[in-house]
Amino acid sequence: MREKIEQLKSAALRQIVAAADLAALEEARVRFAGKNSELTALLKTLGTLAAEERPKVGALVNEAKTALEAALTEKKSALQQTAQTQKIAAEKLDVTLPGKGLKRGHYHPLTQVMNEAKNIFIRLGFEIAEGPEIETEYYNFDGLNIPPHHPSRDMWSTLFVEGGQLLRTHTSPVQVRVMEKRKPPLAIIAPGRVYRRDYDATHSPVFQQLEGFLVNKNVTFGDLKGTLTEFLRQMFGKERNVRFRPSYFPFTEPSVEVDVEWEGKGWMEILGSGMIDPNVFKAVGYDPEKFSGFAFGMGIDRIAMLKYGIDNIHLMYENDLRFLEQF
């Protein structure tokens, strides 16, 4: 019996010391000190021993148990320590590595150019007005001296929506809306999206315009030219070649268009303008003998193309980050 106890004890101690990890240690504990271990079984057989043997053997078993438990505890904390150390080593952080960083966003090139254009006119004393993108034929055409069968309606390949309304083909309807409600003097800009059935490198079915108009007593063509020249200088710099070219619009007379030099490609038209036609004044109840004014409508997409050397307008609407990140 004593021998058996000694054997179990030393076998157990060996296995405890040899345990490579916590799982192996737990295995040793179950095997040698658990409820179903041989040592526990031995305790149960104490009753079969002679009376004077019992206390001695009992003491031996208890001593073995205590020794095992001490060894288990000690080994357990040693293994935990090792595991902790390994974990820390594996998780080591190099705080000197460069961080991932947050990419900073920025405005879309169209928004940038639109803001720049708006700011130039705000500094010149213009205020901002807006109108709806879904318009009536009246504001888009009739109120602008374009009667139903006037051939110039063809100049704006119109997208109609149900119920007889249309997607505005230009921002000029805002002229009519503002003049109907307010009296001169007025200096207004109206930025916004417009729509046409058009598609090529410089035409997109949706694009951005900035309308502007000024009405007062004695406004002259010189005021128009001076205002636009100042705008062009601020937007493109003094060195950029621009030209004013006679044109035609039903709602202005006389009318001009402005072209800006397009590196290597000649000229690109960026705006239409002119002196507001007396018929437009009559439609909003202004006396054309008393007031005069000028109006212009510029293509923001094209200004952005010229400013940044972009040769296809559709890049503006494709949301390709490789393109957008360049601005």
Q: Would you tell me which residues interact with ligand PHE (CB under 6 A)?
A: 170, 172, 249, 252, 255, 272-274, 295-297
Minimum CB distance to ligand PHE, residue 209 (Å): 6
Give the HSE-up count for residue 180: Cα atoms under 13 Å, Cβ half-sphere. 11
Per-residue tokens: 22: 């916590």
Q: Are strands 252-262 and 242-249 parallel, antiparallel or unpaired?
A: antiparallel
Minimum CB distance to ligand PHE, residue 183 (Å): 20
Q: Whose CB is nearest to ligand PHE?
A: 297
Minimum CB distance to ligand PHE, residue 194 (Å): 7
CA distances from 314 to 297, 306, 320 (A): 20, 14, 11
Per-residue tokens: 286: 């202004």
Minimum CB distance to ligand PHE, residue 296 (Å): 5
Q: Which is nearer to ligand PHE, 170 or 177 (CB)?
A: 170
Q: Which residues contact 242 (CB under 8 A, 6 or more apart)?
A: 229, 232, 236, 258, 259, 260, 261
130 touches 174 (CB < 8 A)? yes
Minimum CB distance to ligand PHE, residue 146 (Å): 10
Burial class (CB in 10 A: 0-12, 13-18, 19+), 132: middle
Q: Which is nearer to ligand PHE, 109 or 274 (CB)?
A: 274
Q: Which is nearer to ligand PHE, 15 or 158 (CB)?
A: 158
Q: Which is nearer to ligand PHE, 13 or 189 (CB)?
A: 189
Q: Which is nearer to ligand PHE, 72 or 298 (CB)?
A: 298
